[in-house]
A and B are shown apart, each in its own frame.
Chain A
Amino acid sequence: MNIQKIRDEASRALGRKDVKYLIGYQKGSYGFRVSPAFFQTKEEVERLIFSPLCQVSLAPYLTLEEVVPLPGEEKQKASKVALLARGCDSRAINQILAEKGIPRDRLFIIGIPCEGVIDRRKIEARFPSVTEPAEVREENGKYIIAIGDQSHEVPKEELLADACKVCRYPNPLIYDKLTGDKVAPHQANYDDITSWEEKPLEERLQFWLDQFSRCIRCYACRNACPLCYSTVCILDRLDPQWVKRSNDTSENLMFHVSRAFHLAGRCVSCGECERACPMGIPLMKLNRKLEKDVNDLFSYEAGKDAESKSPMTTFHVEDREDFIL
């Protein structure tokens, strides 16, 4: 990954008259952290980074309440937002575009083929309590980790985020500029899902009730999700109140089923929900189950292009109906 190329593209994008600002990454405030950052001028692009530590998806920022019109003085009138997009982010963007969530002409997408990113939990478990800024680069299937003046090598597989291990679309599917060379995709692998479904019902239920009981309903999974951008989410609705405010297993189950189901045929498997969860609930397992089924049953994958219709709003006369009495 050549950071200079990305910076060049970024400053070219910021040089455009129609681009308001660019959403990218900069060094985080401590340790292995990388922070989302909003760049207004070419000069600021010096701070822009892209490394295997860039786990955060930038796509959710496109649909936050004020669609980020930062006070950009004369640039206020410009209409486009530029952002860095990896494969998964580009799929999210495609899906939002397909749903007409934002118009295409508001976006300037700098695509980055992505080799996969590091799961912050894994690296922080390996190197606990690191406060000084640390850097990571990838070399021959290994991560070279520099903490202060020390250097460590860890095999890539050990730190790679789970979502990246089965990523079929590491290369951006929609972009205005592409930086870097294309990356070989991984194979889809739903073994975890199929083996889970072989377990007895009772065991599955106990597992999930236990997971849901831990939820504190901070809604970070929702807010971190690039596709949870409803203006009024049913979870915030008071009338009708689908999910009560109370934290108990039953309400939490309702919340998690609604969240997962709302993403049926829309989830792009970026893994943001699970990454954001402070309680370590394996949310991607639910999403992946639905993703697998949508693929198996309706031959649909979310975010492959910006036109296709959601499988939940279309049908085939010959859809399976063996479950119907």
Chain B
Amino acid sequence: MSEFEPNIVAFLCNWCSYAGADLTGTSRIHYPPNVKVIRVMCTGRMNPLFVVQALRQGADGVLISGCHPGECHYLKGNYLARRRFMLMRNLLGFIGINPLRLRMSWVSASEGKKFADVVTTVTEDIKKIGPQQSFTREAV
């Protein structure tokens, strides 16, 4: 059987992490192809339920990435997101969903290398914990 290739949804903020991911590509830095990127304007736009919805619809992990604290384009979106996802991670852990399935990172537009590292770490971790199938929406 071939190795498990996780499905990871990455929500990247428009101003920092999305540009950072772009830089990763233009710098020709390799990173695992398991992430599916969704661009959001700000991590503060992230409804915590997006995470559950993604996991339910077949994602094995979710990565949320935004600007470093103090650098948010909208001043405080990432601070609010930080609180939200800290709690969401704890709640998911409480009901038995491995908190490693929800990761958050700060990646600026200049940190192409860091983005590659983050994606590698997240992918490796999720490979270790295996696929998420226990509460996936019933495949029709």
Q: Which residue of B lies closest to A197 (CB)?
A: B94
Q: Are A297 and B86 in touch, CB under 8 angstroms? A: yes
CB of B69 within 8 A of CB of A204, answer no
- The reply to whether B134 and A205 form a contact with Cβ atoms under 8 Å apart is yes
Interface range on chain B: under 10, 10 to 19, 20 to 34, or 35 or more? Answer: 35 or more
Cβ-neighbour of B49 out of A209, A257, A323 (below 8 A): A257
Interface check B48, CB cutoff 8 A: yes
- Secondary structure of the B contact surface, majority rule: helix
User: Is B82 interfacial (CB-CB < 8 Å)?
Assistant: yes
Q: Provided the pairs A293-B90, A319-B86 are in contact, do residues A325 and B96 lie with their beta carbons within 8 angstroms? A: no
Q: Which residue of A lies closest to B70 (CB)?
A: A317
Assess A197 versus B93: contact at CB under 8 Å? Given A264-B87, A325-B118: yes
Partner of A286, one of B91, B105, B136: B91
In the complex, whether A299 has a CB less than 8 A from a CB of chain B is no
Chain A interface extent, by class: 35 or more
A-B contact pairs, 10 of them (CB 8 A): A193-B94, A201-B97, A208-B95, A250-B56, A250-B135, A253-B95, A264-B87, A289-B91, A294-B87, A323-B99
Q: Is A312 within 8 A of B104, CB to CB?
A: no
- B87's partner among A201, A254, A261 (CB-CB below 8 A) is A261
Question: Is the beta-carbon distance between A319 and B96 smaller than 8 angstroms?
Answer: no
| Chain A neighbourhood of B53, CB < 8 A | 242, 254
A264-B87, A315-B76, A317-B79 as given contacts; A205 in contact with B56, CB under 8 Å: no
User: Is B105 within 8 A of A293, CB to CB?
Assistant: no
* Contact pick for A323, options B70, B80, B104, B134, CB 8 Å: B104
